[in-house]
Amino acid sequence: MISRPIVAAPLAGLLLGDPISGMWAGAVLEILSLRQLPIGASRGWDTGPAAVAAATAALGWEAGPEALLVAAAYGVAVGWVGSWSVHGLRHLNARLVAGDAAALESPMRLTGRHLSALVLDLLRAAGLTGAAVICWVLLEGVHGVAVPARAGTVAALVILSVVSLGLGVDVRMMARGRRVWRAAGVGAALGVVIGLWLR
Amino acid sequence: MAALSRALRLRLLLRSLLVQASWNYRTMQGAGLGFALIPALARLCRDDRAELAKSLRRHCGFFNAHPYLSTVAIAALARMELEGVDSEQVERFKRAIVSPLGSLGDRLVWARWRPLCSLLAFFIFLMGAPWWVAVGVFLASYNAVHLWLRVWGLRLGWREGREVGRALMGSPLRRLPDRLTIPLAAVSGAVVPLLALALGGTAGIGPLFTIGIALALAIAGYGRPGLAGRLAVLGLLVGSLAFVILGISIW
C-alpha cells in the first residue's frame, strides 16, 4: 500500500525536500481515488505514478492553493495515462503466462514468468513516473506566469468543492443510510473550526 | 487432518502476497494461484513430475478472488490436493469459491476499510499531527487488517477444506462491512470543515466565510450527491466565485 497517494506523495515530497506539500497533494488525490474499487477487470487511474507526479508539481504549495490545484490535476492526468499502460501490461501478461501451455507445467518456468510480470510492472511504473517528473520539470519553464489576484481563493474553493462532492458520492456508495453519522462528523468538525475561530 | 507445517504455511502465505503479479485479462489471477500452490503441489508430487505438471496446469486456469482472501482458496485447494480429492471436484470448488471471496473482500477492504484508513489519516493530519504520523497511522491500521485477513484466510481454508464456503457464510466477517459504515460516514463528514479551514487559511479567506462554505458544501455534497447535488455544488461554487471576484467582503 505504499503506492496509495496518501503514502507515496509525502514520501516523494520527503525525497524532494518538501513532505508537507506532498502530503497535501497526496491527500487530495487519495480522496479523488476513493471511489475506484479494483473489482474484477476494472481499471482505475494508476495512483502510484500519479502521486509522485503530483508531489513534484506541488513543491512549495505554501505559495497558495492554486499550486495544489495544478498539482492534483497533473497527478490525475498522469494517473489516467498510467491506467492505459496497465491495460497494455495486462495484455502482455496474458501472452506471458496464459499463452504458452508448456510454461505452466514447470514450477521453475511458471515462477520465472510470474515474477517477470512483476518486474515488467515495476519498470512500467518507474518509466511512467520518471517521464512524468521530467515533463513537469520541462513544463515549469512556462509555469512562471503571473498568478492573477484572488487565484488562491478560487483554487481553494474549487478544491473544496471537488473534494466535498467526491466524498458525498463515495459515502453515498459506501455508507448508505448513515446520514446521522455523517451529520455528526460534520457537526463535530464544525465545532472544532468555530472553537478555533473564537479562541 | 494434520495441521499445515509451519514452513509450508509460511511459504503459502508469502506466495499469496504475489498472487496478482501476473494479473491478465485471460486467466486473471490463474498463474498467481498456480505460483502460490507450488510448495503444496511439490510436496504432494515429490516423485511424479508428470502429475506435478498436470496439477500445475490445472490450477493456472481462470481464477479471480479478492487478493487478501485468496489465502482461503489457496489453503483449501492445498488441503484438497493433499487429500487426493478428484480434479473435477477441485475445479468445481474453484469456480464456486470465486464469487464469495470477491464479494466479501471487495465490500470489506476496498469499499470500507481502505477509505476509512485513508480518511482517518487525512483527518489526523488536518487536526495538526505531523505528516509522518498520518502516514504511519494509515500504513499500520490498513496493513494490520490486511495481514490478519491473509493469516485468518489461510487457517480457515485449511481447517474447512472444501466446506470453506459454508464457513464463510457463517463468518462474523460478513457483518463487519455494515458496521464500518458508521465510522466511515463520521470521519468523511469531519474532513470537509477541517479542509475548508486549512485551505481558507492558506488562501486568506476569513473563518466566517470558510464555515459557511464548508457547511453548505457538506449539506449539498452529502445530502444530494446525485445530479441535484452536483448542481447545488456548482451553484455554490459559481456564487462564491462571484463574491470573490466582485470583491464583496462578508468577513
In chain B, what are the domain boundaries? 6-113+131-170, 181-246
**What confidence category does residue A67 fall into, taking pLDDT thresholds of 50, 70 and 90?**
confident
Per CB-CB distance under 8 Å, the chain A contacts of B22 are: 93, 96-97, 113-114, 117-118
pLDDT of residue B207: 65
| Residue B211 touches chain A, beta carbons under 8 Å | yes
| pLDDT reported for residue A90 | 94
Higher pLDDT, B103 or A101: B103
Query: Per-residue pLDDT averaged across B66-89, rounded?
Result: 91
Distance CA B10, CA A83 (A): 33
Helices (H), A4-150: 5-16, 19-33, 47-57, 65-93, 107-139
pLDDT at residue number A155:
72
Query: In this predicted structure, what is the pLDDT of residue B5?
Result: 82
Say if residue B238's pLDDT is above 70: no
* Binary contact (A110, B60; C-beta < 8 A): yes
Q: Give the CB-side neighbour count of residue B56, counting CA atoms within 13 A.
A: 29
Residue the block writes with cell 459557511: B212
A99 secondary structure, DSSP code: S
Residue A199 lies in a domain: no
Q: Mind listing the pLDDT tens digit for each residue in B128-181? A: 899 999 999 999 999 999 999 999 999 999 999 888 888 888 888 888 988 898
How close does chain B come to A36, measured CA to CA in Å?
8
Q: Is the pLDDT of residue B208 over 80?
A: no
Q: Does residue A14 fall inside a structural domain?
A: yes
Is there a domain that residue A172 lies in?
no
Helix (H, G, I), strand (E, B) or coil at A89: helix
In 3-state terms, what secondary structure has residue A40?
Answer: coil
CA A182 to centroid of chain Cα atoms? 25
Do B186 and A182 count as a contact with CB atoms less than 8 A apart? yes
Question: A34 vs B195: CB contact, 8 Å cut-off?
Answer: no
CB of A171 closer than 8 Å to CB of B222: yes
Which pLDDT band, with edges at 50, 70 and 90, does A145 fall under?
very low
Structure confidence at residue B122 (pLDDT):
93
Q: In 3D, which of A182, A165, A128, A31 has the Cα closest to residue B184?
A: A182
- pLDDT (0 to 100) of residue B206: 66
Range of A125's domain? 5-149
Nearest by CB to B22, which of A6, A65, A93? Answer: A93
CB B74 within 8 A of CB B151: no
Closest residue, chain B, to A111 (C-alpha): B35
Residue B32 near chain A (CB below 8 Å): yes
Pick from A142-146, A165-169, B155-159, B165-169 the range whose average pLDDT is largest: B155-159
For residue A197, being part of any structural domain is answered with no
Residue of chain B minimizing CA distance to A110: B35
**Percent of chain B residues past pLDDT 90, beyond the cut:** 45
Overall average pLDDT of the A132-148 stretch:
72
Residue B200 is predicted with a pLDDT of: 74
Which residue is it, cell 508469502?
Answer: B14
Domain assignment present for A189: no
The reply to whether residue A39 touches residue B189, judged by beta carbons under 8 angstroms, is no
Q: Does any domain span residue A127?
A: yes
In a domain, A138, yes or no: yes
Q: With an 8 Å Cβ cutoff, are B25 and A91 in contact? A: yes
Which residues in A lie closer than 8 A to residue B30 (C-beta atoms)? Answer: 97-98
- The string of pLDDT tens digits covering residues B96-116 is 999 999 999 999 999 899 999
Total structural domains in chain A?
1
Residues of A whose CB is below 8 A from B241: 154, 157
Is A177 inside a domain boundary? no
- Whether the ipTM is more than 0.90: the answer is no
A167 or B58, which is more confident? B58
- What band does B225 get if pLDDT is binned at 50, 70 and 90? low
Highest-scoring range by mean pLDDT, A69-83, B33-47, B65-79 = B65-79
3-state SS, one letter per residue, for chain B: CCCCCHHHHHHHHHHHCCCCCCCECCCECHHHHHHHHHHHHHHHCCCCHHHHHHHHHHHCCCECCCHHHHHHHHHHHHHHHHHCCCHHHHHHHHHHHHHHHHHHHHHHHHHHHHHHHHHHHHHHHHCCCCHHHHHHHHHHHHHHHHHHHHHHHHHHHHHHHHHHHHHHHCCHHHHHHHHHHHHHHHHHHHHHHHHHHHHHHHHCCCHHHHHHHHHHHHHHHHHCCCHHHHHHHHHHHHHHHHHHHHCCCCC
Q: What pLDDT band is residue B249 in, cutting at 50, 70 and 90?
A: very low
CB nearest A64 (choices: B127, B202, B211): B202
The model carries a pTM of 0.86
Mean pLDDT is lowest, of A39-43, A138-142, A186-190, B190-194, for A138-142
pLDDT exceeds cutoff 80 at A186: no
pLDDT of residue B219: 66
Q: How far is it, in rounded angstroms, from Cα B148 to Cα B152?
A: 6
pLDDT greater than 70 at residue A19: yes
Phi-psi region of A64 (alpha: psi -120 to 50; beta: other; left: phi over 0): left
Query: Which residue in the set A22, A115, A178 is minimally distant from B185, CB to CB?
Result: A178
